[in-house]
Structure 1
Amino acid sequence: MKRKLLRGATVITMVCGRPDAERLDLLIEDNQISDMACDLQVTDADVIDFTGRIIIPGLVNAHLHSWQAGLRCVGADWTLLEYLSKVHGGLAAHYTPNDMRVAALACAINQINCGTTTIGDWCHNARTPEHADAAIQGLNEARIRAVFLHGSSHKIRETAHPVQEVDRLLDGPIARNKLLRLGMAIPGPQYSNAEIALADFRAANERNLLVSMHQSGGRPGAAWEAVRDANLIGWRTNIVHGNDIPDDWIQTFVKAGASFTMTPENELGQGHGFPVTGKLLKLGAAPSLGTDVDSVVSGEILLAARIALAQQRGLDHERHRQTKGIFSPTATINSKQALQWATIEGARALGIDDQVGRLEPGKQADLVVIDPRAVNLWPAHDPVAAALQASISNIEAVMIGGEWRKRNHKLEGDDLESIRQELQESGQRLVSVLESHNVMARLRQKIVQKVVHRSLIKQAKSL
């Protein structure tokens, strides 16, 4: 792979101690950043002039379920209860391995288009080895960096995670792709008993794997206490959502080194609760971000960052108003912090901050080129704020591991028409299953109503 010299851009490295934004040239060799300085003098390299652009580290979407891409816009008005009932209680069982493949492929391509170079793919519909392999194949075809979090159907767990399947994936599909890592998506102590939770955590720790779980809706119970007492909570522990976890438990998790991934748009819209941003910031920690479900939201991680920022600022203003009678005179959180949540913190949550999340020599060449000359950002007086406010139309180029995946505002090397057609066919079949279930549910409801009505008439006549 020939060396690439990216010249003339304003670069936001996210490296501690460096300026927020600076004029730098980046030299890419193979899959890494090899040098970074102003006016690099390099021969034998492809020179790309990015004067007037902003370069940021590749964005990290630390929590999403790629397998739901074929259901886009179906659940935009669903509550959490409706989502669980319709998707996990109905549709999920009707997925074929090919549905998993094309959804993962389409989801990953959309993420790349939005500037995301790394995803935490929480695959809790890996019902069979074939389903898991197909999802991984889709990620491979998209050529995105990913932590594939292997999971099973979303329900109360009565058996431990299938470690034989984890080992098979480690030795097979995952080992064959340098952009992929494996993790475990478990129901967690919230949805399993202490014995199973302990077994799952120990299995992950023995394999040095990230273990990720949903947790929201109140105080952690006895199974969490068992995991805590066994000293199994650590930097490999990733807690998704975290809504309504009390302060003492938040402190326990942060002190142990666990990470939190919030999905603010989905959490606020579906009824999970308020994101835990403020609770983490109070303890000197910070959240990572995800978009969660393509069936409900668009999948733009920069949008998630802006929602999280605005929501926490709103809470801070209201708290100040209640105590001082007026909103806070200065912003309690700044744009750079929100951008950190979508880069540095996402990489840390997925256990790959040694590779991505910042731009510096030795790191993987995962980066995003933003064009701020468009009418929605121009004049971009503050590069960090401009990067955070960017939309898909501003994402000019995306590089993953030294390979361009988007250039000149267009995705590279994908047969988008074929992917769209395949995704549409998969999605239409699945949505028809949902519609059939809805019809049957309404029919059952009418039958019950008629039976109740006849019973009431019968009782009335007997009086």
Structure 2
Amino acid sequence: MSRILLRGARVITMTPGRPDAELVDVLVDGDRIAVIDEDLEAPGADETVDLTGRVLLPGLVNAHLHTWQTGLRCVGADWTLMEYLTHLHGGAVQHYAPDDMYVSNLAGALNQINCGTTTLGDWCHNSLTPEHADAAVEGLARAGIRAVFLHGTPYRDPDIPHPLAEIDRLLDGPVRDHALLTLGMAVQGPQYSSPDTAVTDFRAAAERGLVVSLHQSGGELAPGWAAVRTAGLFGPRTNVAHGSDLPDGWIKTLVDAGVTFTSTPENELGQGHGTPVTGSLLRHGAAPSLGTDVDTVVPGQVLTAARIALAHQRGLDHAHHRHHTGTHADTPSVTAKQALAWATVEGAKALGLADQVGRIEPGMQADLIAVDTRALNLWPAHDPIAAVLHADIANIESVVIAGRWRKRDHTLLHPGLAEVMDRLLESGGRLLHAMGAV
């Protein structure tokens, strides 16, 4: 393992008590952050990198992405939620082969790295067979991204529990074999399972110490929610994807239990999931993590999700203030730094990795990105946090995951990228044809 000294950048550590941004050096030793300080000396370092003109920050966390859909990118830009469910889950799912899972997860994870994401919550609810699940896991591993593989299946009868034999098989082999991967459960959850099944699935996750993640998007709550609450199974390793229009009393109950939420604001607003949960969480002293959900409908850029979440919540708060006071607000209700925390610190928490990623601190994993603020769209970058939030793919100069360069000088360091793209094109074309879409 190498020692890398990173000099000259303005560093956003996201660590409480430190400045928003500071001119410090960062020493990476192996896969971890070793030292953060001014004018560091590192005799014997394998590499010293001058990052003057860049902003260095923790790698972004995309906490909710159905990566298996990458091969069908852009086909559903005009789909409503019901059209998405009909075409993808009612049509495409049955046509997936294991190789489609592999190439979609490989290409989708590489795209996330290119966008500055170092940690991915892969909500894989198309594990039709063990071979499909193994192929999806191998795609993530081949890309070199840090990921929580949230094992799920296509929608099934509400009385059928999650296939625990598959969870145990993955724990004993395919996931355990890859250092950057951990396992979680993508369950149907209390909204789409019978009460007994929901409790069974939550208890199984708790017994194995796994993050359990579930979908909830508007509508009256099903009886399973009360059953899981009565069983005392909501906790810090519970993640609610979307959570749109949950009643305020339930938000408080879940927040008090330590439950995390992942909002995918661009998709939620565009497809009709309901109002993003951001404001409700903030009122209860919590905050969302962020995801991009589906490449079939929206682009996979977490920074875009952060900007949309921020602007949407500010818009709601401004309207509320004008309605009640008749005047414009004097100060913003939500800050850019909060939005950046949603894409880093909160994402790590949602995936059960808060002790490893999301901040730049000694002992944490060396998952870092460098944003080049010398480009015309960001220069002069007077406020580093705003500059990062306003960045796009062209500004993500470098990505380090577990101390290894995965992107450098604006170029992904993955061999055979053209072949991956060709395989993805073939996979997507075949799936569209099978769906009758072409």
Mapped partners of 2:310, 2:366: distance in 1: 27
Mapped partners of 1:304, 1:330: distance in 2: 22
Are residues 1:15 and 2:5 paired?
no
1:109-142 alpha-carbon deviations (Å, 9 max, x no partner): 0000000000000000001000000000100110
For 1:452, the equivalent position in structure 2 comes to none
- AA matched with 1:266: N
For 1:68, the equivalent position in structure 2 comes to 69
For 1:369, the equivalent position in structure 2 comes to 370
Are residues 1:301 and 2:305 paired?
no
Mapped partners of 1:296, 1:138: distance in 2: 21
1:310-343 alpha-carbon deviations (Å, 9 max, x no partner): 0000000100111111232211100000000000
Alignment of 1:62-461 (within 5 A): 62-435=63-436
Question: After TM superposition, where is structure 1 displaced by more than 2 Å over at least 4 residues in a row?
Answer: 154-158, 218-221
Give the drift of 1:433.
Answer: 1.7
1:247-296 alpha-carbon deviations (Å, 9 max, x no partner): 00000000000000000000000000110111000111000000000111
Mapped partners of 2:2, 2:150: distance in 1: 33
Mapped partners of 2:174, 2:122: distance in 1: 15
Contact 1:113 1:411 in 2 (8 A): yes
Mapped partners of 2:38, 2:157: distance in 1: 55
Mapped partners of 1:328, 1:384: distance in 2: 22
> Alignment partner of 1:106: what SS?
helix
Give the drift of 1:155.
Answer: 4.3
TM-score (norm 1): 0.93
- AA matched with 1:293: V
> Alignment partner of 2:407: what SS?
strand
Give the drift of 1:222.
Answer: 1.5
> Alignment partner of 1:189: what SS?
helix
Contact 1:219 1:246 in 2 (8 A): no
> Alignment partner of 1:212: what SS?
strand
TM-score (norm 2): 0.99
Give the drift of 1:203.
Answer: 0.3
> Alignment partner of 2:175: what SS?
coil
Give the drift of 1:156.
Answer: 4.4
For 1:31, the equivalent position in structure 2 comes to 31
Mapped partners of 1:220, 1:14: distance in 2: 36
- AA matched with 1:222: P
Mapped partners of 1:306, 1:47: distance in 2: 33
Mapped partners of 2:341, 2:154: distance in 1: 32
Contact 1:64 1:292 in 2 (8 A): yes
1:164-190 alpha-carbon deviations (Å, 9 max, x no partner): 110000000111111000000001000
> Alignment partner of 1:190: what SS?
helix
Mapped partners of 1:398, 1:154: distance in 2: 36
Once the two structures are overlaid, the 10-residue window that deviates more, 414-423 or 15-24, is 414-423
> Alignment partner of 1:292: what SS?
coil
Contact 1:398 1:406 in 2 (8 A): yes
- AA matched with 1:399: V
> Alignment partner of 1:36: what SS?
strand
> Alignment partner of 1:293: what SS?
coil
1:409-456 alpha-carbon deviations (Å, 9 max, x no partner): 0001331110010000000001112225x9xxxxxxxxxxxxxxxxxx
Mapped partners of 1:435, 1:378: distance in 2: 47
Mapped partners of 1:213, 1:190: distance in 2: 9
For 1:58, the equivalent position in structure 2 comes to 59
Mapped partners of 1:194, 1:84: distance in 2: 23
Contact 2:192 2:222 in 1 (8 A): no
Mapped partners of 1:2, 1:258: distance in 2: 37
Are residues 1:3 and 2:3 paired?
yes
Mapped partners of 2:58, 2:259: distance in 1: 23
> Alignment partner of 1:353: what SS?
coil
Mapped partners of 1:218, 1:94: distance in 2: 30
Mapped partners of 1:156, 1:63: distance in 2: 24
- AA matched with 2:85: L
Contact 1:75 1:295 in 2 (8 A): yes
- AA matched with 1:309: L
- AA matched with 1:17: G
> Alignment partner of 1:209: what SS?
coil
- AA matched with 2:319: E
1:53-106 alpha-carbon deviations (Å, 9 max, x no partner): 100100000000010000011001100000000000010110000000000000
Over the aligned positions, Cα root-mean-square deviation in angstroms equals 0.9
Structure of greater Rg: 1
Mapped partners of 1:221, 1:429: distance in 2: 37
Contact 2:370 2:399 in 1 (8 A): yes
Mapped partners of 2:222, 2:102: distance in 1: 36
Mapped partners of 1:73, 1:367: distance in 2: 29
For 2:42, the equivalent position in structure 1 comes to 42
> Alignment partner of 2:398: what SS?
strand
Contact 2:370 2:396 in 1 (8 A): yes
> Alignment partner of 2:191: what SS?
coil
Give the drift of 1:220.
Answer: 2.5
1:380-408 alpha-carbon deviations (Å, 9 max, x no partner): 01001101111000000000000000000
Contact 1:289 1:341 in 2 (8 A): yes
- Unaligned runs of at least 5 residues, structure 2: none
Q: 1:419 to 1:407 in 2, by over 3 A?
A: same
- Unaligned runs of at least 5 residues, structure 1: 439-463
Contact 2:68 2:105 in 1 (8 A): yes
Identity among equivalent positions (%) equals 61
